[in-house]
């Protein structure tokens, strides 16, 4: 039946063309964004998961930055501690050898004291200079916190986020404090390592005993500073390991997000070509359907 009022063929062709155009628009959007799920309307579940994972990755990026800052701080303190321990020509190691040398009968202890004083001043300057971003654990003040927490990780289970940290007790590394309770300024016996003076000592048995006490005191300081440096060295290794893990974890999360929302460009390019052909054919079919009503005019000639 031919009708002027209802052209069912044209209606079918129009519906097909609309469907093809809609699919073509979706494919073009995927190609332009590179994502098959770019909005919640594309796939609400996947979009929600991807959004949460992106937020987690942003938090991991902040952890990575924090680890970098922590690594720099720890490295600064570690370097200063190893400098204070010194070697045969500097630091506590040199101070110990000078004190042993001072036990020699008849030696000029005033000249030895001149070297000792320079070492004491250098160690104090080294501790004071061990500052990074305003943080110094070796030469502390009353405002220095007793404990510092270095952010090391972030995780989220369900809706509960957890931030991990490395907790350090500053007193374990303090060489000088405002209350003279540090490793080098804490008084033990007659003096602290920072205030040892042998200029007035003689070869008497009492003074030799005093020298033995100073040597023991410096030896204990060497052990304490070395232990502090070893502890910070372990912290350095932990931070380095955490940094590598966080970066790998961020890459893993990125891959996971990509598997959820990224478009397969090979598939989309093939689909685009097919839909473009279907669109052209749909336009042609609609044109033919619209022209079919012209044949009715021949019946009235």
Its domain, for residue 252, covers: 44-261
Q: What pLDDT is stored for residue 12 in this prediction?
A: 84
pLDDT tens sequence across 167-185: 999 999 999 999 999 999 9
What is the number of structural domains in the chain? 1
Q: What pLDDT is stored for residue 6 in this prediction?
A: 66
pLDDT tens sequence across 82-135: 999 999 899 999 999 999 999 999 999 999 999 999 999 999 999 999 999 999
Residue 183 in contact with residue 174, Cβ under 8 Å? yes
C-alpha 123/C-alpha 80 separation (Å) is 9
Q: What pLDDT is stored for residue 272 in this prediction?
A: 85
Q: What pLDDT is stored for residue 281 in this prediction?
A: 86
Sign of CA dihedral 156, 157, 159, 162: negative
C-alpha 213/C-alpha 222 separation (Å) is 14
- On average, the pLDDT of the chain sits at 90
Q: Does residue 83 belong to any structural domain of this protein?
A: yes
Q: Does residue 284 belong to any structural domain of this protein?
A: no
CATH number at residue 134: 1.20.1330.10
- Which residue ranges of the chain lie beneath pLDDT 50? none
Q: Does residue 22 belong to any structural domain of this protein?
A: no
Q: What pLDDT is stored for residue 1 in this prediction?
A: 56
pLDDT tens sequence across 212-228: 999 999 999 999 999 99
Q: Does residue 165 belong to any structural domain of this protein?
A: yes
């Amino acid at each position: 039946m031919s009708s002027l009022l209802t052209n069912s063929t044209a209606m079918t062709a129009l519906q097909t063309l609309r469907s093809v155009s809609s699919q073509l628009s979706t494919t073009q959007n995927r190609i332009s964004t590179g994502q098959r799920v770019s909005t919640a309307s594309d796939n609400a579940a996947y979009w929600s998961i991807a959004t949460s994972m992106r937020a987690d990755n942003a938090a991991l990026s902040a952890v990575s930055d924090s680890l970098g800052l922590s690594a720099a701080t720890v490295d600064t303190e570690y370097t200063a501690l190893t400098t204070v321990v010194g070697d045969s020509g500097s630091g506590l190691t040199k101070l110990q050898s000078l004190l042993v040398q001072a036990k020699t009968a008849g030696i000029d202890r005033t000249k030895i004291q001149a070297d000792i004083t320079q070492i004491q001043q250098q160690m104090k300057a080294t501790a004071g200079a061990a500052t990074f971003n305003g943080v110094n654990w070796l030469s502390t003040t009353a405002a220095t916190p007793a404990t510092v927490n270095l952010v090391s990780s972030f995780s989220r289970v369900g809706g509960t986020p957890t931030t991990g940290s490395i907790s350090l007790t500053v007193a374990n590394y303090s060489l000088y404090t405002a209350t003279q309770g540090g490793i080098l300024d804490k008084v033990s016996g007659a003096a602290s390592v920072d205030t040892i003076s042998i200029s007035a000592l003689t070869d008497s048995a009492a003074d030799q005993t005093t020298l033995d006490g100073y040597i023991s005191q410096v030896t204990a300081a060497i052990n304490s500073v070395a232990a502090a440096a070893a502890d910070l060295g372990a912290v350095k290794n932990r931070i380095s390991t955490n940094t590598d893990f966080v970066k790998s974890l961020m890459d893993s999360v990125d891959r996971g997000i990509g598997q959820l929302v990224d478009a397969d460009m090979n598939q989309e390019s093939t689909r685009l070509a097919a839909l473009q052909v279907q669109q052209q054919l749909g336009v042609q079919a609609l044109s033919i359907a619209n022209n079919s009503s012209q044949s009715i005019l021949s019946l009235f000639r």
